[in-house]
């Protein structure tokens, strides 16, 4: 074998040897996030840990150092889905029907917020010369708020109190409302693309009703097994984790909404059995979940594309401002019924600002159905997500601090 052939052979072998597989990717995501978060903590920089995870992802992502390529980011989808599944399940458990019955003003606040946000965003985007159906899709997405940022900050800072409970309830209700409104808009999208009537009627039902039915069946099985196992916390946590991963797999196999399935499973396990307390406690405080949360935000940072923000900058500004005004006005309108001051309403509206997982998921749904249609929406929605994910953790932390719900013993390190 001549030298050139030997060199080519060694090059191919080396390239194959250092191919980034899933385990290496998992390690890179964790190490980069934890390392930069530690640097931020040591330097006493005024940014939350979540933001540092996202900055780490942005630095190692395609926009800067290119360690994580677009192909590797696609490979990380399973890790991200597990993190989202844990968050959605926890968020679903936050919807306690008894709480909403005792506080009908929360229901009124959620419904009014969904309607007002939809209308203001819809007419704003018509003013920006988007079509009716494009405006309706963006408006349905705008109703949602990010549960991931809220839940991770609540866990990390030990936040608790009345405003924490209200914010979790409203974010959960927002996401359910967003998914419902999106399902109602879908038939109009199908009609515009000349789909047959069978598909127009059946597809939204399949995407919204079937996940709820599957979640109910799984919750019955989960509680039967939970009662059989008894009060063994380790086994209860393992059972809950298995149910979440199984739900994720079923949603993928049946090509139905993972968001609705996990939200519904959380709702059913919270509201239809008194034996759920141990499972719920483990779902909230399981340490393994923290690992996937770190990966979620590192990947979120890596997926930020400056081109999206630059391409639709003015539209993103309009989206962000109008959406915040809608949420603040809603909380202001109901502030007496919800027993809060105007200032408290303002800070609570800051907590509602972040927007991420559900918004991206809904746009991916439209992309899977009609790619050319969604190409118009991707810059403004993904650009808005990048902005709101970036500023969201800072605004949320400031809001909880001003509302006095961060315990004194859990002082912020920046």
Tens-place pLDDT, residues 27-75: 777 777 778 777 766 776 667 777 788 788 888 888 888 887 787 777 7
Is the confidence at residue 314, as pLDDT, over 70?
A: yes
List, for residues 115-128, the tens digit of each pLDDT value.
Answer: 999 999 999 999 99
Mean pLDDT, rounded, for 403-411: 75
For residues 53 and 45, what is the distance between their CA atoms, to the nearest angstrom? Answer: 14
For residue 330, is pLDDT > 80?
Answer: yes
What is the pLDDT, as a whole number, of residue 38?
A: 76
Highest mean pLDDT among 3-7, 222-226, 254-258, 337-341: 337-341
- For 259-286, the pLDDT digits (tens) are 889 989 988 888 876 544 444 444 444 5
Domains of the chain: 26-402 (1.20.1530.20)
Residue 7 has pLDDT above 70, yes or no: no
Q: How many residues are present in the chain?
A: 414
Tokens of 295: 């990966």
**Residue bearing tokens 């060694």:** 10
Q: What distance in Å separates the CA atoms of residue 256 and residue 221, rounded to the nearest whole number? A: 20
Long-range pairs for 375-379: beta carbons < 8 A, 24 or more residues apart: 376/130, 376/134, 377/134, 377/137, 377/138, 378/308, 379/307, 379/308, 379/311, 379/312, 379/315
| Residue 345 banded pLDDT, cuts 50, 70, 90 | very high
Q: Are 237 and 289 in contact (CB under 8 A)?
A: no
Predicted TM-score of the model (pTM): 0.81
Query: Can you tell me the distance from the alpha carbon of 162 to that of 166, in angstroms, rounded to the nearest whole number?
Result: 6
On the question of pLDDT at 332 being above 90, the answer is yes
Contact between 263 and 88 under an 8 Å Cβ cutoff? The reply is yes
Task: Read off the tokens for 260.
Answer: 């609705």
How many Cα atoms occupy the beta-carbon half-sphere of 412 within 13 Å?
20
Average of pLDDT values for 377-388? 85
Mean pLDDT score, 102-114: 91
Q: How far is CA 261 from CA 91, 176, 213, 284, 374, in A?
A: 12, 11, 9, 18, 24
Structure-model confidence comparison of residues 278 and 409, the more confident one: 409
Which of 393, 405, 412 lies closest to 146, judged by CA?
393
Q: How far is CA 16 from the centre of its chain?
A: 35
Q: Which residue, chain included where needed, has tokens 């963006």?
A: 138
Q: Cα–Cα–Cα angle for 49, 53, 55, nearest 5°?
A: 110
Mean pLDDT of all residues belonging to the chain: 81
The percentage of the chain sitting over the pLDDT mark of 70, rounded to a whole number, equals 86
Please report the pLDDT score of residue 288 as a whole number.
64
Q: How confident is the model at residue 95 (pLDDT cuts 50, 70, 90)?
A: confident
**Report for 18-27, 192-201, 322-331: range of highest mean pLDDT:** 322-331
Predicted confidence at residue 22, as pLDDT, reads 67
In the prediction, which pLDDT does 135 show?
95
Over 60: is that where the pLDDT of 184 sits? yes
Around Cβ 117, how many Cβ atoms within 10 Å? 29
pLDDT for 315 beyond 50: yes
């Amino acid at each position: 074998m001549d030298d050139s052939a030997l060199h080519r052979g060694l090059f191919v072998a080396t390239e194959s040897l250092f191919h980034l597989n899933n385990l290496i990717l998992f390690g890179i995501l964790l190490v980069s996030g934890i390392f930069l978060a530690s640097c931020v903590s040591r330097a006493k920089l005024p940014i939350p840990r979540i933001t540092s995870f996202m900055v780490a992802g942005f630095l190692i992502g395609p926009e800067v150092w290119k360690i994580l390529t677009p192909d590797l980011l696609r490979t990380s989808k399973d890790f991200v889905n597990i993190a989202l599944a844990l968050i959605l399940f926890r968020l679903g458990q936050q919807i306690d029907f008894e709480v909403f019955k005792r506080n009908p003003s929360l229901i009124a606040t959620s419904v009014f917020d969904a309607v007002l946000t939809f209308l203001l965003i819809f007419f704003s985007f018509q003013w920006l010369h988007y079509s009716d159906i494009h405006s309706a899709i963006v408006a349905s997405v705008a109703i949602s708020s990010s549960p991931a940022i809220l839940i991770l900050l609540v866990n990390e800072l030990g936040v608790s109190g009345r405003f924490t409970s209200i914010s979790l309830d409203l974010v959960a209700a927002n996401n359910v409302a967003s998914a419902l409104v999106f399902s109602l808009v879908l038939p109009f999208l199908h009609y515009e693309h000349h789909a047959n009537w069978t598909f127009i009627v059946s597809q939204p039902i399949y995407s919204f009703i079937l996940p709820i039915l599957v979640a109910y069946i799984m919750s019955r099985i989960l509680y039967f097994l939970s009662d059989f196992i008894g009060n063994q916390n380790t086994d209860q946590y393992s059972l809950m984790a298995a149910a979440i991963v199984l739900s994720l797999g079923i949603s993928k196999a049946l090509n139905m909404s993972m968001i609705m399935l996990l939200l519904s499973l959380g709702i059913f396990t919270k509201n239809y059995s008194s034996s759920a307390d141990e499972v719920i406690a483990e779902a909230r405080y399981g340490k393994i979940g923290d690992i996937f949360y770190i990966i979620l935000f590192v990947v979120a940072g890596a997926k930020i594309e400056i081109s999206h923000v630059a391409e639709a900058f003015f539209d993103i500004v309009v989206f962000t401002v109008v959406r915040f005004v809608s949420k603040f006005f809603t909380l202001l309108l109901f502030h007496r019924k919800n027993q809060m001051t105007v200032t408290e309403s303002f800070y609570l509206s800051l907590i509602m600002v972040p927007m991420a997982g559900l918004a991206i998921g809904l746009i991916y749904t439209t992309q899977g159905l009609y790619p050319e249609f969604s190409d118009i929406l991707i810059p403004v929605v993904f650009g808005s997500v990048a902005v709101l994910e970036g500023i969201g953790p800072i605004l949320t932390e400031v809001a909880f601090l001003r509302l006095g719900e961060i315990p004194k013993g859990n002082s912020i390190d920046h």
